[in-house]
Amino acid sequence: MSKLIVTPESTPGADGRVLAVTPASAGWKYVGFEVFRLLPGQTLSRSTGDNEACLVLLSGRADVRTNREIWVGIGQRMSVFEKIPPYSVYVPADDTYEVTALTELELAVCLAPGTTRLPARLIEPDAVGVELRGSGSTERLIHNILPESEAADSLLVVEVFTPAGHWSSYPPHKHDRDALPDESLLEETYYYHVQPEQGFAVQRVYTDDLTLNETLAVRDGETVLVPKGYHPVSAPPGYEVYYLNVMAGPVRTWKFHNDPAHAWLMPPRK
C-alpha cells in the first residue's frame, strides 16, 4: 500500500472514528482530517484547541452545538451522490463542538491552525457555491463549501463529483511552493467515495523531477495525501467518483501552477 493512501478502519472506534490524518502522521504541518460514522443517538464531543474545524455532514442528519451556538436537525442528503450541497459548521479555535446523530451519520472533520477566533457559524447549502468546471471529458461538479472568499484562518474545503469516464484536478496542477502571487503552498487531502462502491478512482501524484511519481488505485472510503506535486484524478467508465478536498498552508489562498507539459490543454484566455 502506498504511503500516500490512508485506509479507513473496518469497524468504527468507540467514538465513531474510522479514519484520521494528523500533521504528524502525514509528515506535514497544516492539514488534519477525520471521518466519523455515528449511529442514531450517538454523540461526538471535541475541543478544537489550536485548530479551527469545518464539520461537513457528508450524509445524514444531526444536532450540532458549540460553546455559544446550537443548530437542530441540520443535514438533508442521505448519500453524497444525491449531489446537493451539504450542511457544514465552522468552529474556531478554543471552542468545542458536540454532534449528536439523528440518523446514521457520516461526518468529516477538517482541521487546520486557527488564530483569529472567528465566531462559529452554520454553512447552509444555499451558501455553498456550485459550479461546473471543465468541458467534455473534464467536466465535473464543484461544491465550494469553505472557499477563500468566506471567513476562516487556514482551511479551504471543497467537494468534487467526477462523472464516470471523466477526469478532474485536470489538467495537472500543483500548489507546493510559497511563491505568491504565482503559486501558494497548500497541503491537501482527498477523501473518496465511489459509486458503485466496488469501483475505484485513479490518481497520479508526481513532481517535475519525478522523485515523487505514484499512480494510485483508490477505493471507496480511502484518503489520498498530496504533500507536493501534480495530482490529477480519473473516474473509470461505469464508476462515478466523489472526493472531499481539504487544503491549508501558510497563506490562505489557492494559486496553482499547471504542469508545463500539459499546458496546451488549457482553454485560451479571453
pLDDT tens digits, 164-199: 999 999 999 999 999 999 999 999 999 999 999 999
41 within some domain: yes
**All residues at 6 or more sequence positions from 143 whose CB lies less than 8 Å from its CB, including other chains:** 85, 86, 128, 129, 130, 158, 159, 160, 161
109 within some domain: yes
What residue numbers bound the domain in which 95 lies? 5-265
**Mean of the per-residue pLDDT values for the chain?**
96
Whether the per-residue pLDDT at 38 is higher than 70: the answer is yes
**Can you give the CATH number for the domain in which 250 is found?**
2.60.120.10
129 within some domain: yes
Per-residue pLDDT, averaged over 109-118, amounts to: 95
pLDDT at 79: 98
pLDDT at 1: 66
Q: Are 216 and 203 in contact (CB under 8 A)?
A: yes
Whether the full predicted model's pTM is greater than 0.85, yes or no, is: yes
Give the pLDDT band (50/70/90) at residue 125: very high
Q: Are 193 and 182 in contact (CB under 8 A)?
A: no
- pLDDT one-digit tens code per residue, 136-167: 999 999 999 999 999 999 999 999 999 999 99
74 within some domain: yes
270 within some domain: no
The identity of residue 167, as a single letter, is W
pLDDT at 138: 94
Whether the per-residue pLDDT at 65 is higher than 60: the answer is yes
- DSSP-assigned letter for residue 230: B
Q: Please tell me the distance from the alpha carbon of residue 72 to that of residue 54, in angstroms, as a whole number.
A: 17
Per-residue pLDDT, averaged over 212-229, amounts to: 98
11 within some domain: yes
Whether the per-residue pLDDT at 269 is higher than 60: the answer is no
Q: How many domains does the chain divide into? A: 1
Q: Left (φ > 0), alpha (ψ -120 to 50) or beta: where does 81 sit?
A: alpha
pLDDT at 264: 85
Give the pLDDT band (50/70/90) at residue 2: confident
pLDDT at 147: 97
Which residues in 126-265 belong to E strands, given as ranges? 129-133, 140-146, 156-162, 167-168, 173-174, 176-179, 183-185, 187-195, 200-206, 213-219, 223-226, 233-234, 240-248, 257-258
**All residues at 6 or more sequence positions from 13 whose CB lies less than 8 Å from its CB, including other chains:** none
